[in-house]
Amino acid sequence: MKKNLFFTLLLLPALLMQTYAQSGKADKALLTKADAALQFAARQYKGMMAHVPDSVLPRSTNKDGSLMTSNSTWWTSGFYPGTNWYLFEYTKDPAFKNEALKRMALVKKEQYNTHTHDLGFMMYCPFGNALRITKDTAYTSILLTSAKSLSTRFNPTIGCIKSWDHGTWKFPVIIDNMMNLELLNWATRESGDKRFAEIARIHANTTMKNHFRPDYSSYHVIDYDPATGKVLERRTHQGLADSSAWSRGQAWGLYGYTLMYRDTKDKTYLEEARHIADFILNNPHMPADLVPYWDYDAPDIPNALRDVSAAAVTASALLELSRYTSKADGKRYWNAAEKMLTSLCSPAYLAKEGENNHFILMHSVGSLPHKSEVDVPLTYADYYFVEALLRYKQWAK
């Protein structure tokens, strides 16, 4: 398909990443730990394969210690097959590819789902990795359909993709939604249709305008008037309070603006990512091991629960961000990511083999206010941890 100069330039960052981006200096001890953790992850997920019923997907651990599963409509359905693709990429063991394909068959129908903003998570994590690793263009049409479905949730008056259809909200947009823009940017590069990337750009700009406080901490939920685009409320759903900094929300924002810079080379997004990173790393409530509390304003710090998922997402984002900034800032972000990964590779957060329902990491927090998935393993913590380890091995020099 013929692509004009605009689309060539949009693709250029990914093509040239290895030539212009600086890599961080390798910590030999962490490289050893990274390999050990990836090999452990592979063994754990071999156990997971036998542990999870064929008709469902792993999600977390129930209060009684049993495995919590989901169907394909749950927002985390793409992470388990996505992690299997990463493990196949690392081990070359076809068992991981076969498991990914088996679970993707359950998720495939969600390409038509227009009732969720999470199609980037659900579809791009497994099918995008499948396309990248196998080069099988059969996945292209599935991803393009997914991008079209996601685009139906865009309101041009507001300039955002609607996050939820539930509750009393008028038009809720959550910071998590930044993560799903990667699918739209890819769809423009693949199809030549400007509309997808334009929606991503407008959503990112609106979110940058309305979601962030002067210190670059993020609100979780912004509710808009769908008729006028006016902000009605700035709230939280999973954080401590409307005014607090929910740690995974900060991680989603950091990762989202980093990927927007990668895909567009718009320095506005790079600056936003840097500001968010600095809020996180300079936060007075950041623990010494750089595994955040579930909310940076939790009242029971230093005894507050940690959120390992926030650390995994943040570490992966910081590794990438370090490649786009000045040498001094890049070193600071890289070193912070190293410290996070070193912590996550330790017995404090890495599960014991054969335990933890075969998940890799322990001690994540889904939604403490709803008493849901509290201090448990989560599939997305595993996904971004494995991604970060692979990025570290690839980019360390």
Alpha-carbon distance of 225 to 240, in angstroms, equals 25
Name residue 223's beta-bridge partners.
Answer: 172, 233
Provide the residue type at 74 as one letter. W
Instruction: Give the residue among 387, 262, 270 at the shortest CA–CA distance from 329.
Output: 270
Domain encompassing residue 123: 66-152
Instruction: Give the residue among 241, 239, 73, 115 at the shortest CA–CA distance from 253.
Output: 239
Confidence band (pLDDT; 50, 70, 90) for 21? Answer: low
pLDDT of residue 24: 86
> CB atoms < 10 A from the CB of 61, how many?
20
181 found inside a domain: yes
Structural tokens at position 321 = 């961000």
pLDDT of residue 22: 65
Q: Tell me the pLDDT of the chain averaged across its residues.
A: 94
Catalytic site includes residue 266: no
Whether 127 and 180 map to the same domain: the answer is no
Catalytic: which of 27, 118, 223, 297? 118
Catalytic: which of 54, 136, 165, 176? 176
Alpha-carbon distance of 104 to 239, in angstroms, equals 31
pLDDT tens digits for 113-146?
999 999 999 999 999 999 999 999 999 999 999 9
60 found inside a domain: no
9 found inside a domain: no
What 8-state DSSP symbol labels residue 108? G
Instruction: Give the residue among 113, 43, 41 at the shortest CA–CA distance from 71.
Output: 113
56 found inside a domain: no
The mean pLDDT of 217-227, rounded to a whole number, is 98
In a 10 Å sphere around its CB, with 0-12 CB exposed, 13-18 middle and 19+ buried, how is residue 15 labelled? exposed
The sign one gets for the Cα dihedral 88, 22, 341, 284 is negative
The mean pLDDT of 143-153, rounded to a whole number, is 98
Whether the per-residue pLDDT at 306 is higher than 70: the answer is: yes
- pTM of the full structure: 0.94
Number of domains making up the chain:
3
21 found inside a domain: yes
Asked if 164 contacts 203 with a C-beta cutoff of 8 angstroms, the reply is no
Whether 209 and 256 map to the same domain: the answer is no
Whether the per-residue pLDDT at 6 is higher than 70: the answer is: no
Alpha-carbon distance of 23 to 341, in angstroms, equals 16
pLDDT of residue 25: 86
121 found inside a domain: yes
pLDDT tens digits for 202-213?
999 999 999 999
Domain boundary among 113, 128, 152: 152
pLDDT tens digits for 309-348?
999 999 999 999 999 999 999 999 999 999 999 999 999 9
Alpha-carbon distance of 395 to 334, in angstroms, equals 10
Radius of gyration over every alpha carbon of the chain, rounded to an integer in angstroms: 20
Whether the per-residue pLDDT at 20 is higher than 80: the answer is: no
**Pick the residue with more confidence: 25 or 8?**
25
Q: How many helices (H) and strands (E) does the chain have?
A: 14, 9
CB within 8 Å of 65: residues ≥ 6 apart: 357
341 found inside a domain: yes
The mean pLDDT of 49-55, rounded to a whole number, is 96
Residue whose tokens read 């993707």: 104
pLDDT of residue 14: 42
Measured CA to CA in angstroms, residue 109 lies from 60, 93, 103, 119, 196 at distances of 22, 27, 12, 11, 21
Asked if 374 contacts 366 with a C-beta cutoff of 8 angstroms, the reply is yes
Catalytic site includes residue 176: yes
Confidence band (pLDDT; 50, 70, 90) for 26? Answer: confident
CB within 8 Å of 147: residues ≥ 6 apart: 119, 183, 184, 186, 187, 196
The mean pLDDT of 390-397, rounded to a whole number, is 96
Whether the per-residue pLDDT at 15 is higher than 60: the answer is: no
Whether 293 and 376 map to the same domain: the answer is yes
